[in-house]
């Protein structure tokens, strides 16, 4: 993992010394929007019209943030309209690479570049910040539209409806106000919480997020005892934002990030819910276990310096979930 400084790559891990051992995530730097007609999006940025074949999505099968966008690309039937490049699971001194010597890694299908950070430099030659996935690229203007997954999935949710004819809505207007606090808690204590625990470099910095994580998992278990989905009987973006963390939890976060009070399989409702979402039509195609098991254990040499890949538990995500029709 490194960082771009004035368009130059530096092999630099997260600085936890200045934060008392705590991991602080950098904000996404590209926050433009694709809309149906190219008008301004929710943040006031626009000019990117939803058109078939215009956009390219850079992803990692390992990354939970990129996984969200792959799920929405599948759910909203965008596969024939937005093509993708998949990075190699190993993220070492040059960051994400386009090497193809691992099954599923595609190389850079747009420019034939070697590293993801070169895509950022191509968009902004003097760019500053981390070169993260996902990246939504506009082929027409040669720009990065967005590298913020939570906003990309909302673009995918509605902007391309007239292109695909798919009007399924995972951010319905009548539930938006209720979804936001659920999203916020899940992001801060679960999605990002596992990273806060895993990348902490002091005991104190580790203990606070790991306890908050399991408080939220207990809260989710209770919520799912009364509701089929997080917002009731309708599946929403809140569920699909949670799922990538849950599917990685037992194979990766429980061991690698020391999130080991309990596993997802130890929560009856969460475990059944995770299986239901995994079995949702098309979603299992977006789950590539080999990529994320390899990525975390091999790439984070500050946590696993010998890069030993564990054998991992045998879990049956295809087991019937028993959660309604």
Q: Which sequence positions are flagged as catalytic? A: 63, 195
Check if the beta carbon of residue 239 is closer than 8 Å to that of residue 171.
Answer: no
- Rounded-to-integer distance, Cα 98 and Cα 59, Å: 11
- Rounded-to-integer distance, Cα 70 and Cα 74, Å: 6
Q: Residue 254 class from Cβ within 10 Å (0-12 exposed, 13-18 middle, 19+ buried)? A: buried
- DSSP assignment letter at 54: S
Check if the beta carbon of residue 272 is closer than 8 Å to that of residue 38.
Answer: no
Query: In angstroms, how far is CA 321 from the centroid of its own chain?
Result: 24
Check if the beta carbon of residue 318 is closer than 8 Å to that of residue 271.
Answer: no
Check if the beta carbon of residue 90 is closer than 8 Å to that of residue 102.
Answer: yes
- DSSP assignment letter at 28: P
Looking only at the bridges linking them, the beta strands covering 3-5 and 91-92 are: unpaired
- Rounded-to-integer distance, Cα 244 and Cα 246, Å: 6
Check if the beta carbon of residue 65 is closer than 8 Å to that of residue 134.
Answer: yes
């Amino acid at each position: 993992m490194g960082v771009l400084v004035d368009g130059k790559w530096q092999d630099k891990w997260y600085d936890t010394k200045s934060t008392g051992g705590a991991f602080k995530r950098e904000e996404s730097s590209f926050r433009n929007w694709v809309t149906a007609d190219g008008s301004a999006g929710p943040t006031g940025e626009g000019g990117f019209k939803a058109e078939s074949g215009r956009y390219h999505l850079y992803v990692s099968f390992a990354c939970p943030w990129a996984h969200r966008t792959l799920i929405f690309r599948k759910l909203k039937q965008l596969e024939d309209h937005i093509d993708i490049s998949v990075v190699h699971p190993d993220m070492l001194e040059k960051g994400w690479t386009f090497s193809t010597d691992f099954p599923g890694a595609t190389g850079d299908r747009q420019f034939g570049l070697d590293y993801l950070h070169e895509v950022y430099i191509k968009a902004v030659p003097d760019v500053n910040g981390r070169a993260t996935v996902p990246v939504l690229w506009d082929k027409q203007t040669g720009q990065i539209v967005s590298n913020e997954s939570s906003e990309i999935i909302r673009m995918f949710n509605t902007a391309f409806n007239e292109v695909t004819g798919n009007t399924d809505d995972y951010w319905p207007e009548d539930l938006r106000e209720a979804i936001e606090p659920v999203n916020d808690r899940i992001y801060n204590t679960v999605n990002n919480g596992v990273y806060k625990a895993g990348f902490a470099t002091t005991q104190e910095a580790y203990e606070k997020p790991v306890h908050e994580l399991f408080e939220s998992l207990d809260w989710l278990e209770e919520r799912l005892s009364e509701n089929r989905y997080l917002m009731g009987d309708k599946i929403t973006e809140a569920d699909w934002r949670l799922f990538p963390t849950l599917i990685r939890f037992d194979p990766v976060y429980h061991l690698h990030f020391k999130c080991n009070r309990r596993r997802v399989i130890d929560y009856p409702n969460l475990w059944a819910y995770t299986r239901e979402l995994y079995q949702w039509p098309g979603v299992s195609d977006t789950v590539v276990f080999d990529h994320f098991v390899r990525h975390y254990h091999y790439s984070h040499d500050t946590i696993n310096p010998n890069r030993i890949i564990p054998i991992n538990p045998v879990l049956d995500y295809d087991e019937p979930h028993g959660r309604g029709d």
